[in-house]
Amino acid sequence: MNYENPDALVTTEWLAAHLENPKVKILDASYFVPGGVLPARTQYEDAHIPGSIFFDINDIADKSKPKEHTFPTKDIFAAKVGALGIHNGHQIIIYDHLGGACAAARVWFMFRAFGHNNVAVLNGGRTKWEEEKRPYSNKSPIMITEIFEAHGPINRLPQKEDIFINIGANSFQVLDARSSGRFEGTEAEPREGLRGGHIPESRNLPFLELLEPDSKTWKNGKKLRSSFANAGIDLGKPLVTTCGSGVSACALALGAYLAGNTKTTIYDGSWVEWGADKSLPIETASLPVTNYSASKAPNTDGDF
């Protein structure tokens, strides 16, 4: 498929041949928008790929923060992942109901952020698995707690202060995974209390444009590179992705990785944080950047 980094994906054929491999751990990381974890867990309980474990992104998170599925600390991640019966010797395969974009790519990003690179997303996810009439199960595996050692996060995740200071400085590119209507402020946000629009100077690439519409498989490398280029992104330069709440931002990070950018990171606060803070500037289709002054930039807790 002409990917620069093909290790991020496995095929349904590969997974079917490794269902009984004890060194492989399969995670169902489905997450519905709207709906969240509950309908995803119900779907898992009704039928899932045999041997797979449900990965709850709202549970494996820093619950001391107000945002759902806030990126966990390394200690939280290590404890929660170990409780799922995962250790550092396992190869992790993750799938969801949308080809990996909701929220398998986020879990892929999390494992890599904490130093576990032996991780991949099932290309096509449940959609392709079902189309090929491959087996399902409604039996949950028995989980025996293991020791999982997390390192990092390997790269510090940017905070809103970093994003703010980057406006005008352009130390890194910012790419938004939301729909074009939400990005331009012409479509209502699905969450209450959020302004419409986008971070000034950010670019837009709706995450579904990275997937083939019918199979929900990832587009080939050439198409991915074209999508990023058409969005005005240089994959040779630092890239931070954002979205509504930090889930589909990881789909852009996975797409960028497949296309050759190995250092993409995410703004975990995303629009839930930025759009709710009226002190932060926004742009829309009809409104240029407002309320911006570099002298008002908040203090940061370190360089990005």
What is the distance, to the nearest Å, from the Cα of residue 233 to the centroid of all Cα atoms in its chain?
18
Per the domain annotation, does 138 fall within a domain?
A: no
- Going by pLDDT thresholds of 50, 70 and 90, the confidence category of residue 268 is very high
Q: Does 269 share its domain with 168?
A: yes
Strand order of the β-sheet with 24-28 is 9-10, 119-122, 91-95, 24-28, 53-54
Q: Does 127 share its domain with 164?
A: no
Provide the domain count of the chain.
Answer: 2
- Residues 6 or more apart whose CB falls under 8 angstroms from that of 159 comprise 269, 300, 301
- Going by pLDDT thresholds of 50, 70 and 90, the confidence category of residue 177 is very high
Per the domain annotation, does 146 fall within a domain?
A: no
Please check the confidence at residue 275 and state whether its pLDDT lies above 70.
yes
% pLDDT > 90, the chain? 88
Per the domain annotation, does 290 fall within a domain?
A: yes
Phi, psi of 164, deg, nearest 5: -60, -50
User: For the domain that residue 27 is a member of, what is the CATH number?
Assistant: 3.40.250.10
Please say if 243 is a catalytic residue. yes
Q: Does 115 share its domain with 176?
A: no
Q: Does 287 share its domain with 226?
A: yes
**C-beta of residue 216 within 8 angstroms of C-beta of residue 124:** yes
Q: Does 49 share its domain with 122?
A: yes
Please check the confidence at residue 297 and state whether its pLDDT lies above 80.
no
Q: Which two tokens stand for residue 188?
A: 């209502």
d(CA 174, CA 47): 38
Q: Does 109 share its domain with 185?
A: no
The last residue of one of the domains, among 131, 152, 178, is 131
Domain span at residue 244?
Answer: 160-296
Q: What is the mean pLDDT of the chain?
A: 93
d(CA 258, CA 287): 34
Q: Which two tokens stand for residue 71?
A: 């990126």
Q: Does 168 share its domain with 292?
A: yes
Q: Does 277 share its domain with 176?
A: yes
pLDDT in tens, 36-60: 999 999 999 999 999 999 999 999 9
d(CA 162, CA 269): 12
243-281: burial string, b at 16+ Cβ within 10 Å, e else = bbbbbbbbbbbbbbbbbebeebbbbbbbbbbbbbeeebb
Q: Does 93 share its domain with 208?
A: no
Q: Which of 47, 50, 42, 41 has its CA nearest to residue 16?
A: 50
Q: Which of 165, 184, 182, 171 has its CA nearest to residue 272?
A: 182
pLDDT in tens, 211-266: 999 999 999 999 999 999 999 999 999 999 999 999 999 999 999 999 999 989 99
Q: Does 116 share its domain with 178?
A: no
**Catalytic pick among 243, 250, 252, 254:** 243
